[in-house]
Structure 1
Amino acid sequence: MNKNIRLSIIFIVFAIVSLNVFPAYPSDDSSPEKITDISDRKYEQVLIDLLDNAKESIVISMYGISLGFGEKSPVMLLLNDLLEARKRGVSVTMYLNTRFRDTDKSEGSFIESPVFKELKDAGCDIYLIPSSRTLHDKLIIVDSRYVVIGSTNWSNSALRRNFESNTLIDSPRHAGEKLKRLEDVLKFVKSNTEISGIPDYLEDLPEEIAISEELLVNKKYFSRMVTGQDERVFDLYLLLLGYSQLTSESEFFINMEDMALSLGLPSAWSYTALRRQVIRSLKRLRNPYDLISVDFLHGKDVFVKLTDIPGDSFVIPSESIMKRQGADLTLRLKFLLMIEALFKSRGEDISSIAKSDLAKRFNVNESTIQEAFNDLKKIERNRP
């Protein structure tokens, strides 16, 4: 064997040995991404090293945590590492699943345990995913750089007995992508928490709702809904607008069942029927009205983003157009009340303007304006 071949073999052997001897951490942020297999029994020790050496942050997104028995169970040791990290000033954030199959119920008992409270008292940020959705992650991110991902839940069997596939990725870029995804999960958690305590979207409305003048004067928006008798779509948009102004967010999750009930659909209807009606109206708000973009997700929830409508706006009491007031509060009357509020914001009196001029300026038939005034008189007569 000549000298060059021998040197080549030595170099290859050294490279292979280096891959096994030198782990993927630590490395400079500027270095290429490094990937290391940490399957089966390697997982626990690598994770302990990462948690013990964390300097800034630990983020955990986990389907199941089963404590096992005894203070020295492998899961308790990992949880103690989190408490020790908090003592060093490291931030700890946990996203925990709360929806389990019957065979996995023990993994949900963690949130009722003393160590869960101990973690919260130590300053860990813990977010419980609403049971309407399943969080199936087995993900740990350390110092916005090291990503541990695979099949291992935190349980004695997963850590000590099962065959579990796991990978350690040293990559600030990849860690950033995972953290961004968890920010989206957090939006869902916060939105769903706010919704869960509210019977429907008619509760806790802002006293006044701001409406863009463009929605009234541009014939492709509200006047088109009035002419086409698209009342449910009209009401849905007002509820979305009110919720947006209540939360100061232009994009958010909504619960379709709650929204359906807020629109006055019968509570006796099946969830599927309620959901179908809301989906239909959301799709119309997207096209042809171009007032929202929407992502339909699995389960009860949908992610909505309101289209920014430029120009001046006016305010109107939300109760006058959004509270349930019976069949007398017609679509055309809501439209007229908005026109009245617009003129009021300009210091003008709607009664001084001819109905034909109102119809022309706001792109509806004069008969629609006249009938709306008739509806208003009817309500005023019936007031105590």
Structure 2
Amino acid sequence: MDGVDLKSSMYLPDGYMDSDSYIHDALHFLSKYRWIFNFPVTNLLVSGVFDSVPVEWVETLLSLSNQELNDLPNGFMKETWPESLQEFCKQCQALKLPLHSLPGNDSGYDIPTHLCHGLTIKKQHEVARLAALIHKECSSRRIRRILDIGSGLGYLDQVLHHQYGYEVLGLESNPHHVEKAEVRYQGLRAADGKVSYLQCEVSAASKEEVQLAIREKLLAGVTLKKKRRRGVRKTRHHTFSSILEDILLRYDFITEDKNVVLNVRQDLTHLWSKYSGLCRLAEAVTGLQMMMQSVAESFVLVDKMIYLQENNDTLLSYDLIKVMDDNISARCHALVARKYSSAL
């Protein structure tokens, strides 16, 4: 039998014998350092994140090279650093699931050029590897139809169909994402109606809606109306002045009070002068976030494994598989749950 038997021990970091103690420590750690991640990235300044960085950390973080910042998630640390920063680094490593023991760490596969439109290198990597994993699991069980809950912009679904031949129904709560996924799919060559999308809040209350969508769209097929695609011009900027000019060209700044006169150029230039010296610290905070990313992901995966063990009536086995190259994508794990075969 493939995978971990549900009655056996689950994946846990070294030093942990049970999930309760791991969950307790991980929750405490995430709560203690929530100032590192508990804010929208665009609110870095207005949320006062820089003020939350321990004073004894600042000098050390600002002294790190780009390579050292990139190496932080992999356990890079120096004995000359403040003890509190060293302790943070050690805890990050101690709470990560043991990557060296994860199965399925094979190379990903390339996806056709016409499916790469609009995808960054990182997104191509994620989609290609996850699609290959799904195909491996489905093909071994003769599964030809896939339900994707939380389908986003539809990249994965379109690769699953065009590269591997699956029929796919994507459920997504964001109507804007559904619209963009449909438009993108219709713009691909040979769009044949085998991929469809539905705007739906998946919950116990929507069970009948989901079941109806599966019957009508996955089991019977669907034809989508073609829409015009909207192109977005992408420009790379290397200086603040070029970014500022592009902002002023593309946006109007309007206030509710018509008596207020905005001087956007002056105000933004002032803010840049005030905060530009903190750019390096912003990079350091991003490095700290990358370190905590693996802890947060490990916590979520362990929580899901606990759920599987508590609800195992129809489950055969599960695997925790390292799918992505974590130097390219932080989303490197997939939890594959297999259940006993049953008729549709």
Please, what TM-score do these two structures have when normalized by structure 2? Answer: 0.20
Higher relative contact order (CA 8 A, sep 6+): 2
Return the structure number with greater strand share.
1
Bigger radius of gyration, 1 or 2?
1
Please, what TM-score do these two structures have when normalized by structure 1? Answer: 0.19
